[in-house]
Amino acid sequence: MTSPVGGREPLKVFEFSAAFGGGHAQASDALSLALEGLVPDMQRVQGDFVSYLNRFERLWTLDLYSYWLEYAPGGYRWFYNWTDSEQEPAFITNTFTYLGLPGLLRAVEAARPNLVLSSFPTNVALADTARRRLGQEFLNVLAITDYRVHHHWARPEADLLLVASEAAKQQLMQWGKRWGLDESRVAVTGIPISARFTPLLDRTLEQVAELRLKHGLRPDVPLLVVSTGGKGTYPTLGRLLNVLSNLGRPVQVIVTSGRGPLGTEQLGGATLHRTGFTADFPELLAAADLVVGKAGGLTVAETSALGVPMVVYEPIPGQEEYNADYLLEHAAGVWPRDPHALRRAVLKMLDPDERTMYSRATRLISVPDAAERAARAVVAGLNSGLGR
């Protein structure tokens, strides 16, 4: 593969995400757009792993995952822990190399990319199978979108691995000992977030008030954003809203996903704004005092960039629990374990001095330019000949 960066040929990028949650696709998109800023003549094609699955494959991957999260989270915790080992059964790790393969082969053959950007572990393994079958050469990149590296994400097929923190890099290096992972193939970049957050990073209190007024919110009442995840599968949402409506003080609560009709309603002392998925999310998050709910990797990256503290409640077993632990380790958030503790935690965090302390700690772990860092690491990988 001759690197097209700085040459006459355009850089052809296959952006390969997976609809197992909105964070994977959003991180991948943020990275691609940052890369486009460095390589203006870049050509981008997008693909989604789930769209390549047949009905049987989808049943045992996305459908089972969704069922676990909504109805049997304990089952998912067992699976997460069981597979987080070098002794993970080969029949599981090997499936990563062929699930959805026919569809990906067609897509890659048509795109003929110089670079494949994956934001899900299955994708980078599948892309490697495709390049070997088709005899193509491209840089095969995996962006890891959580703060801990599960065994599934330690993929020898990746030419370049992008991780959230130095601790994640060290963990990945431990996993990679068995296949001789070279440190040069791991870059600490942070989790890529949208460039739409950039102009909001240094907002003033006056600008926060203006943002609230712009979106029909009161500047004088605390604003909480509920993190429900990209798929809106958050079984605890009802219980969480019940707690927020009984704080003993008025609050505004934004729910950007989840089931139920859109619009505004009064629930006890909480004014609920059910917006559904909205392009205004960066501004709504920047206007908030707190984020309450799940701890997806992208959510942690976005909230820390803006200095908005998190109150984690009922995260997804496994990866989100480790993301919550990351916040706790850096005094950048709290994780109450029951409704009574949740109420106390939210009220405590609404104290201005307390919130300021957590906001400062949150910013210390932030990497607001993660997308640009990741893009530079990818360009360096292309220029160094990785993937040839």
**How do 270-274 and 263-267 pair as beta strands?**
antiparallel
CATH of the domain at 163: 3.40.50.2000
236 in the same domain as 161: no
Structure tokens at 21: 């949650």
Q: Contact, 123 vs 130, CB < 8 A?
A: no
- Is residue 243, in this structure, part of any structural domain at all? yes
255 in the same domain as 131: no
What is the domain extent for residue 162? 12-193+369-384
251 in the same domain as 152: no
| Dist CA 129 CA 141 (whole Å) | 14
| Dist CA 35 CA 261 (whole Å) | 38
- Is residue 315, in this structure, part of any structural domain at all? yes
Please give the torsion angle defined by the CA atoms of residues 358, 363, 364 and 369, in that order, rounded to the nearest 10 degrees. Answer: 160
Please give the torsion angle defined by the CA atoms of residues 238, 257, 51 and 145, in that order, rounded to the nearest 10 degrees. Answer: -90
11-47 core/surface letters (b: 16 or more CB in 10 A; e: else): bbbbbbbbebbbbbbbbbbbbbbbbbeebeebbbbbb
0.75 exceeded by pTM: yes
284 in the same domain as 185: no
DSSP at 176: G
Tens digits of residue pLDDT in 223-262: 999 998 766 668 888 899 999 999 999 999 999 875 668 8
Note the Cα 356 to chain centre separation in Å. 25
238 in the same domain as 163: no
Tens digits of residue pLDDT in 254-273: 998 756 688 999 999 999 99
Per-residue pLDDT of the chain (388 residues; tens, 9 = 90+): 444 666 667 899 999 998 887 788 899 999 999 999 999 889 999 999 999 999 999 998 889 988 998 889 999 999 999 999 988 888 888 888 899 999 999 999 999 999 999 999 999 999 999 999 999 999 999 999 999 999 999 999 999 999 999 999 999 999 999 899 999 999 999 999 999 999 999 999 999 999 999 999 999 999 999 998 766 668 888 899 999 999 999 999 999 875 668 899 999 999 999 988 888 999 999 999 999 999 999 999 999 999 999 999 999 899 999 999 999 999 999 999 999 999 999 999 999 999 999 999 999 999 999 999 999 999 999 998 876 6
375 in the same domain as 288: no
377 in the same domain as 313: no
359 in the same domain as 288: yes
Helices (H) and strands (E) in the chain, counts: 16, 13
**Residue the block writes with tokens 């993929």:** 155
Question: What's the structural domain count of the chain?
Answer: 2
| Dist CA 16 CA 22 (whole Å) | 13
274 in the same domain as 154: no
- Is residue 6, in this structure, part of any structural domain at all? no
- Is residue 7, in this structure, part of any structural domain at all? no
321 in the same domain as 256: yes
Tens digits of residue pLDDT in 40-65: 889 999 999 999 999 999 998 889 98
289 in the same domain as 141: no
Task: Name residues whose C-beta falls within 8 Å of residue 173's C-beta, 6 or more positions apart in sequence.
Answer: 181, 183, 186
Q: Smallest Cα–Cα separation from 190: which of 326, 42, 21? A: 326
216 in the same domain as 139: no
